[in-house]
């Protein structure tokens, strides 16, 4: 088997005559290809374009020299200065401007050859690709093709391109990220959706054979998606890097090292990188083992951007439980003399009236003497109360201690009625306050580690600071919207008299930790420096930095120190962004904001406010801290989610969308889920529980707008006039048909109500049934009309001639239909002529098509060739063998149930005989039944030579084959012998 490197083995025999060298293909420009496409479109002959595509996109050496900026023209300062991506995009738009492009198959075949050559080139230049940086142009060019997500490319072309991109070294990947960071967001989003489609297809295929992470194509696709993710972060709106330490040079950050916390708004939204099928298919026990033990192996925990937040929360829960089990097991093996450190869990004995003091004393001792014990499972016991902590006592402990630490009694945090959030009190106060802040951070870290949801109302900037970032001016809106609006008004003030209007200096006032009013100068001698047009931005940034960072430095430092005691060794910030960490700890806040009055009343165990919209729903706060409906289904046998649905607030955007689209229809297609590789479309609607309900399924030969529209034009209903009128109003051009079953049923019901005798009624129904069968088998009727002939049949009326027809079959397949055959038969013409067949069925078109794909230089000679498909994977387990046999027997049962009488009994006898032979481990014969051969076992000649029949196992059964001599299909018959 040839290796990945393009070398030749030395000849062992006499030297062969040298083959003539093929002349090197000249490079192509975007203008040249556009000219060829437009000229071919005018001539309706695309053979030249197909040949050009085969020459350009199948050869690495040609493509890397094509589509470059002309020499002497201004070049960009980006990572690929000579590559003309802006000129290539109109070319691709022109090629795929129609839904059924004639170039798709040619381009797909060319890209398959290109990906093989590109992989070989990159593998050979893994450590010296800088000598040929144009290979990066090839990767960037082919990934710009807008049709990569179609069915023709997903199977062969796109997986090869992903493998080629994965072979790029880190320096080349960084240049590719810089190139994509300058792309339009819509183009970057299209590439993301294309890769997400490939990943979903590979998940469906790989899920039936083992771990999804073992699929090399899926690995390459996820790695390439990671480059697009970093490009989205690098090109988005980011915070400035933190200032270097005094005397230190600023650190150079590569595009591959950009963290999610550095980016405020990416080019492509965070949610578009999440892949739900991949998140559902991953097995975190296997993935976590690779993450810990094999740093060089691919695992999804190193690519968390592709997982949904729910999947990452499950991964963090699994990792925490593994760490708890490991710490508990090590503690059991320690000497009993170590005391509490040798227990398999972290015991916490507290008194309800001294909850904060007891917890602070014990946790502070554990953190000082045995910090690894904080990683054990927390077990809480309330002194003086009986109970075993199975999770309920821990949740109650967390709820009570958070209420006390964040209450005004302790004075650690201030509460804003405007934002309904807590914030750290400015530095000041006694030294023991730092220990209380550390306890608050430790409690939040333990809650995340033990998967407990808390009702903690901290702004998102607090979690950004926990992730290592600093608060900025735009974060001030979460803390004080009024102050943020005031500073924004100063920044946006258009006049030159800003000093006289606002009268503000660089001195601000605040309340310290003791409650005293103090002033602070943002710059030295700030009380003498007035804020004007030239320094208003500096004032706003320094003011926000003081409120969010400097004034709470001491309190937040102690808080973060306690938080990191538990989370320092967990991949919290590599798995979650700051906003996602808030959801992880507190859950969704939308219900609390929309139903604040109801939420507050339910927490205090009070009745709902008068006039509340939720009174009739009997809401309650569940254990997952979500507002749910109690309702009348509480004691039913339904699932918990169905008995107690979640209450969701409806905002103005949702309300307007619902008014415009009260009913929702979803339509999508797939082709990888079928063995016949045919696009299948499914139309769904969504019920009240958010589950999809299938409405229609149809198969098409190609995914063109005309073909899909033809399927949506046909409606089958009963005689209901309201339904027919509504369909005609929404779909005025549709074809409506009445269901014969409902028509007969309605006629039979009306006939039963009428005063008709039984015998007459049965005769009328029999005549109606015969009429229905006659309509089903009706032939084509030709009618003369002013515009020509019109063919009438059960499908309707269409205009027809001896060479063309307006029916769907002729328009879609370009083959003669039954209407054309009826015209030619009536006019005495030959039923078949070459002019009736479309161009795509001719050998000349196939010759040009194949020549362009294979880049042949010899005339096309039609011949018959065969190719053996690679055998499928043999079944590995007894369950797989059972499923294969069950599939075959189910098909036999489906076919056999349609037989009646003697045929059914014969088939049943043969299958019973086969079962008898299999149970006795005996072989049997499969004899073809043709004309002239006996049809029963007793007529078989006993001296038949062994060559006429053959032994066969059950797996050797084939479908009926065609006898070339008899010219008809032949059946198979099984006979047995010892």
pLDDT digit string, tens, across residues 349-400? 899 888 888 888 988 888 888 888 888 888 888 888 887 777 788 888 888 8
d(CA 456, CA 604): 16
Q: Which residues, in sequence order, are CB contacts of 846 under 8 Å at separation 6+?
A: 860, 862
Relative to beta strand 421-424, strand 507-511 is unpaired
Confidence of residue 929 (pLDDT cuts 50, 70, 90): low
> Which of 364-373, 484-493, 541-550 has the weakest average pLDDT?
364-373
The answer to whether 457 and 421 have CB atoms below 8 angstroms apart is yes
Residue 773 has a pLDDT of 62
Residue 78 has a pLDDT of 56
Name the phi and psi angles at 417, rounded to 5.
Answer: -70, -25
Check whether 273 has a pLDDT greater than 90.
Answer: yes
> What is the domain partition of the chain in residue ranges?
26-69+79-132, 169-240+256-306, 316-469+548-585, 589-652, 661-737, 742-840
Q: What is the pLDDT of residues 775-827, one digit of tens each?
A: 555 566 677 776 677 777 756 678 888 888 888 778 767 788 888 888 888 88
Highest mean pLDDT among 270-274, 410-414, 972-976: 270-274
The residues facing 508 across adjacent strands are 520
Closest CA to 230 of 267, 258, 201, 254: 258
Residue 674 has a pLDDT of 60
Residue 428 has a pLDDT of 65
Residue 556 has a pLDDT of 92
Residue 667 has a pLDDT of 79
Q: Does 316-469+548-585 carry CATH code 3.90.1750.10?
A: yes
pLDDT, greater one: 704 or 804: 804
Confidence of residue 540 (pLDDT cuts 50, 70, 90): very high
Check whether 13 has a pLDDT greater than 80.
Answer: no
Check whether 951 has a pLDDT greater than 60.
Answer: no
Phi-psi domain of 520 (left: phi exceeds 0; alpha: psi -120 through 50; beta: other): beta
The answer to whether 162 and 155 have CB atoms below 8 angstroms apart is no
For 794-853, the three-class secondary structure string (H helix, E strand, C coil) is: CCEEEEECCCCECCHHHHHHCCCCHHHHHHHHHCCCCCCCHHHCCHHHCHHHHHHHHHHH
Q: If you write DSSP's letter for every residue of 476-535 in order, what string do you get?
A: HHHH-HHHHHHHHHHHH--SS-HHHHH--BSEEEEE-TTS-EEEEESSTTGGG-B--TTT
Confidence of residue 627 (pLDDT cuts 50, 70, 90): confident
In the predicted model, what is the mean pLDDT of residues 287-306? 88
d(CA 700, CA 676): 12
d(CA 301, CA 815): 54
Residue 340 has a pLDDT of 53
pLDDT, greater one: 893 or 3: 893
Residue 100 has a pLDDT of 54
Mean pLDDT of the chain: 76
Summary count for the chain: helices (H), strands (E): 38, 23
Residue 9 has a pLDDT of 37
% the chain with pLDDT above 90 = 7
Residue 779 has a pLDDT of 60
Structure tokens belonging to residue 259: 């963290």
Residue 561 has a pLDDT of 92
Q: What is the pLDDT of residues 124-149, one digit of tens each?
A: 655 545 556 777 888 888 888 888 88
For 2-45, the three-class secondary structure string (H helix, E strand, C coil) is: CCCCCCCCCCCCCCCCCCCCCCCCCCCCHHHHHHHHHHHHHHCC
In the predicted model, what is the mean pLDDT of residues 279-296? 86
d(CA 355, CA 393): 13
In the predicted model, what is the mean pLDDT of residues 544-557? 91
Residue 659 has a pLDDT of 59
Confidence of residue 753 (pLDDT cuts 50, 70, 90): low
Helix (H, G, I), strand (E, B) or coil at 472: coil
Confidence of residue 232 (pLDDT cuts 50, 70, 90): very high
Confidence of residue 728 (pLDDT cuts 50, 70, 90): confident
Residue 620 has a pLDDT of 85
To the question of pTM greater than 0.75 for the whole model, the response is: no
Other Cβ atoms less than 10 A from the Cβ of 322: the count is 15
Q: Which residues, in sequence order, are CB contacts of 147 under 8 Å at separation 6+?
A: 92, 96, 101, 104, 107, 153
């Amino acid at each position: 088997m040839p290796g990945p490197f393009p070398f030749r083995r030395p000849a062992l025999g006499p030297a062969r005559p040298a083959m003539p060298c093929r002349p090197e293909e000249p490079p192509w420009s975007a203008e040249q290809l556009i000219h060829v496409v437009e000229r071919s479109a005018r001539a309706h002959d695309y053979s030249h374009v197909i040949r050009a595509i085969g020459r350009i996109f199948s050869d690495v050496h040609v493509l890397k020299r094509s589509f470059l900026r002309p020499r002497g023209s201004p070049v960009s300062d980006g990572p690929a200065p000579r590559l003309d991506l802006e000129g290539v995009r109109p070319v691709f738009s022109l090629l795929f401007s129609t839904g059924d492009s004639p170039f798709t198959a040619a381009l797909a075949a060319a890209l398959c050859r290109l990906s093989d050559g590109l992989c070989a080139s990159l593998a050979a230049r893994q450590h010296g690709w800088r000598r040929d940086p144009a290979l990066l142009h090839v990767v960037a060019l082919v990934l710009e093709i807008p049709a990569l997500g179609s069915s023709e490319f997903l199977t062969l072309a796109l997986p090869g391109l992903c493998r080629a991109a994965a072979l790029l070294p880190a320096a080349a990947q960084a240049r590719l990220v810089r190139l994509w960071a300058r792309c339009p967001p819509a183009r970057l989003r299209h590439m993301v959706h294309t890769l997400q489609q490939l990943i979903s297809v590979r998940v469906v295929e790989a899920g039936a054979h083992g771990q999804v992470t073992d699929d090399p194509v899926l690995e390459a696709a996820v790695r390439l998606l990671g480059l697009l993710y970093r490009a989205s972060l690098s090109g988005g709106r980011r915070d400035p890097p933190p200032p270097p330490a005094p005397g230190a040079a600023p650190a150079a950050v590569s595009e591959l090292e950009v963290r999610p916390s550095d980016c405020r708004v990416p080019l492509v939204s965070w949610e578009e990188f999440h892949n739900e099928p991949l998140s559902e298919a991953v097995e975190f026990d296997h993935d976590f083992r690779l993450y810990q033990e094999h740093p060089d192996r691919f695992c999804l925990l190193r690519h968390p951007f592709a997982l949904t937040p729910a999947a990452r929360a499950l991964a963090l829960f699994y990792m925490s439980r593994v760490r708890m089990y490991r710490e508990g097991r090590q503690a059991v093996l320690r000497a009993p003399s170590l005391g509490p450190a040798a227990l398999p869990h972290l015991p916490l004995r507290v008194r309800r009236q001294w909850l904060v003091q007891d917890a602070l004393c014990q946790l502070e001792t554990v953190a000082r003497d045995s910090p690894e014990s904080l990683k054990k499972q927390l077990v809480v016991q309330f002194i003086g109360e009986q109970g075993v902590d199975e999770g309920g006592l821990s949740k109650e402990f967390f709820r009570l201690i958070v209420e006390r630490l964040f209450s005004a009694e302790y004075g650690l945090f201030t509460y804003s009625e405007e934002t309904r959030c807590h914030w750290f009190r400015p530095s000041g106060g006694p030294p023991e306050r730092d220990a209380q802040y550390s306890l608050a951070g430790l409690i939040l870290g333990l809650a995340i580690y033990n998967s407990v949801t808390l009702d903690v109302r901290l702004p998102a900037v607090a979690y950004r600071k926990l992730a290592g970032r600093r608060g900025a001016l735009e974060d001030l809106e979460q803390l004080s919207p009024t102050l943020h609006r005031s500073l924004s008004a100063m920044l946006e003030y258009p006049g030159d008299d800003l000093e006289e209007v606002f009268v503000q200096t660089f001195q601000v006032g605040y309340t310290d930790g003791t409650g005293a009013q103090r002033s602070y100068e943002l710059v030295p001698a700030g009380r003498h420096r007035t804020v004007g047009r030239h320094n208003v931005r500096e004032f706003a940034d320094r003011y926000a930095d003081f409120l969010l960072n400097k004034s709470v430095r001491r309190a937040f430092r102690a808080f973060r120190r306690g938080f990191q005691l538990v989370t320092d060794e967990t991949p919290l910030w590599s798995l979650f962004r700051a906003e996602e960490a808030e959801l992880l700890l507190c859950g969704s806040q939308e219900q609390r904001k929309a139903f604040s009055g109801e939420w507050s009343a339910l927490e205090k165990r009070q009745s709902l406010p008068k006039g509340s919209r939720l009174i009739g729903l009997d809401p309650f706060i569940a254990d997952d801290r979500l507002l749910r409906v109690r309702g009348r289904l509480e004691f039913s046998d339904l699932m918990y989610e169905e008995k107690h649905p979640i209450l969701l607030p409806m905002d103005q955007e949702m309300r307007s969308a619902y008014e415009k689209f009260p009913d929702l229809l979803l339509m999508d297609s797939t082709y990888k889920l079928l063995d016949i590789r045919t696009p299948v479309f499914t139309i769904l609607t969504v019920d009240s529980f958010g589950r999809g309900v299938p409405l229609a399924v149809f198969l098409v030969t190609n995914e063109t707008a005309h073909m899909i529209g033809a399927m949506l034009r046909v409606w089958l209903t009963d005689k209901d006039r309201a339904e027919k009128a509504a369909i005609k109003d929404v779909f005025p051009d549709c074809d409506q048909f009445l269901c014969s079953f409902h028509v007969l049923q309605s006629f039979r019901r009306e006939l039963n109500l009428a005063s008709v005798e039984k015998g007459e009624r049965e005769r009328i129904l029999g005549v109606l049934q015969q009429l229905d069968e006659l309509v089903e088998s009706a032939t084509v009727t030709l009618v003369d009309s002013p515009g020509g002939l019109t063919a009438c049949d059960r499908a309707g009326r269409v205009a027809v001639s001896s060479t063309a027809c307006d029916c769907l079959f002729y328009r879609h397949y370009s083959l003669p239909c039954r209407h054309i055959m009826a015209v030619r038969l009536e006019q005495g013409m030959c039923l078949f002529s070459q002019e009736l067949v479309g161009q795509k069925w001719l050998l000349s078109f196939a010759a040009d098509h194949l020549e362009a794909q294979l880049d042949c230089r010899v005339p096309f000679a039609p011949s018959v060739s065969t190719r053996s498909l690679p055998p499928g994977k043999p079944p590995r387990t007894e369950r797989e063998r059972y499923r294969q046999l069950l599939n075959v027997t189910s098909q036999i049962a489906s076919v056999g149930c349609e037989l009646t009488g003697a045929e059914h009994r014969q088939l049943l006898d043969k299958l019973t005989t086969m079962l008898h032979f299999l149970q006795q481990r005996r072989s049997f014969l499969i004899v073809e039944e043709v004309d002239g051969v006996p049809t029963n076992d007793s007529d078989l000649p006993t001296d038949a030579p062994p060559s006429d029949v053959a032994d066969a196992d059950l797996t050797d059964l084939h479908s009926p084959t065609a006898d070339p001599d008899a010219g008809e299909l032949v059946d198979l018959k099984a006979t047995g012998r010892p």
